[in-house]
Amino acid sequence: MLSKKEKKLIKEMWERLTPVAEDIGSEALLRMFASYPGTKTYFSHLDISPGSAHLSSHGKKIVLAIAEGAKDISQLTVTLAPLQTLHAYQLRIDPTNFKLLSHCMLVTLACYLGSEFTPVAHAAMDKFLSAFAAVLSEKYR
Amino acid sequence: MVAWSDQERSIITSIFSNLDYNDVGPKALIRCLIVYPWTQRYFASFGNLYNADAIKTNPNIQAHGTKVLHGLDRAVKNMDDIKTTYAELSVLHSEKLHVDPDNFKLLADCLTIVIAAKMGSGFTPEIQATFQKFLAVVVSALGKQYH
């Protein structure tokens, strides 16, 4: 469960990261593809090479959706309703992959924020991304 | 037997040769205890772990974090047979310390984050993948003697 303090911290962090959504998002995806090659199977229809337009726009899309969810964490189910449907009925990405992307998102944030990515911030972020992934997979079955 | 390319070997040895074990070890362990608080169950005898500040300043945690990194060093120096190198350690963690092997991955992930924060953009996706491959072998070897 996220405390009030943690929700505030997460909201502020994603507000700061929104201007660099493209960079953060595409880096997280690249890290995921490098460490977990199986994840590339979901992107056979896109050009996911470093620096590609597809990678940038897709990375940006993902980060902006996460940032939107961070604005009001108590309303995650409402905010994510359309994305829940998309992932459950169209994309059908195996939910184990959400953990892999979340991990790579944390690594990206650590590289980007350095010592500012304190253990407390890391804990809050990990909890938030887990909650986000859980809500995202709610309509799967 | 795990196969390592020359590039992978050099990535691993390079990362570790640039680490201060007294700094990174404790940082990784502290992070693990804060991000995954249930891991504190193995450190009941270490004293005050009641909040993040207590964990960060606990001298027993500091010493133990350094010990863990020196343990990893043995794997770096024996990359071609980590399984044998860690056989005794695996028995220790299973028979004496009774650590759930799932926890090894949690600490490994925290170490990855600490290294990432330290290396910044130098921790490229390829270097991350190699580092995670190394830690996966370590984690597997540590769990090998459990029965």
E-assigned strand segments in A4-110: none
Q: Exposure of A124 by Cβ count < 10 A (0-12 exposed, 13-18 middle, 19+ buried)?
A: buried
The pLDDT of B96-123, averaged and rounded, is 96
pLDDT at A1 over 90: no
Mark yes or no for CB contact A31/B30 under 8 Å.
no
- Boundaries of every domain in chain B: 6-143
Give residue A31's pLDDT band: very low, low, confident or very high (50, 70, 90). Answer: very high
pLDDT tens by residue, A58-70:
999 999 999 999 9
> Which one, of A73, A95, A99, lies nearest residue A84 by Cα?
A95
Q: ∠B15-B20-B23 over CA atoms, to 5°?
A: 120
Look at residue B143 in the predicted model and tell me its pLDDT: 94
CB contact A35 to B (< 8 Å): yes
Give residue A43's pLDDT band: very low, low, confident or very high (50, 70, 90). Answer: very high
Percentage of the residues of chain A whose pLDDT score is greater than 70: 100
Look at residue A125 in the predicted model and tell me its pLDDT: 98
pLDDT tens by residue, B62-109:
999 999 999 999 999 999 999 999 999 999 999 999 999 999 999 999
Residue A77: CATH number of its domain: 1.10.490.10
Residues from chain A that touch B106, judged by Cβ atoms under 8 A, are none
Cβ proximity of A102 and B13 under 8 Å: no
Q: How far is A65 from chain B (nearest CA, A)?
A: 23
The residue segments making up the domain with residue A35 are: 4-140
Fold classification of B6-143 (topology level): Globin-like (1.10.490)
Q: How far, in Å, CA of A97 to CA of A37, rounded?
A: 11
Mark yes or no for CB contact B35/A123 under 8 Å.
yes
ipTM of the complex: 0.87
Q: How far is B114 from chain A (nearest CA, A)?
A: 8
Distances A44 to A47, A49, A54, A63, B57 between C-alpha atoms, Å: 8, 11, 12, 21, 49
The total of structural domains in chain A comes to 1
CB contact B128 to A (< 8 Å): yes
Percentage of the residues of chain A whose pLDDT score is greater than 90: 98
pLDDT at A40 over 80: yes
Mark yes or no for CB contact A111/B120 under 8 Å.
yes
The whole model's pTM is what? Answer: 0.92
pLDDT at B1 over 80: no
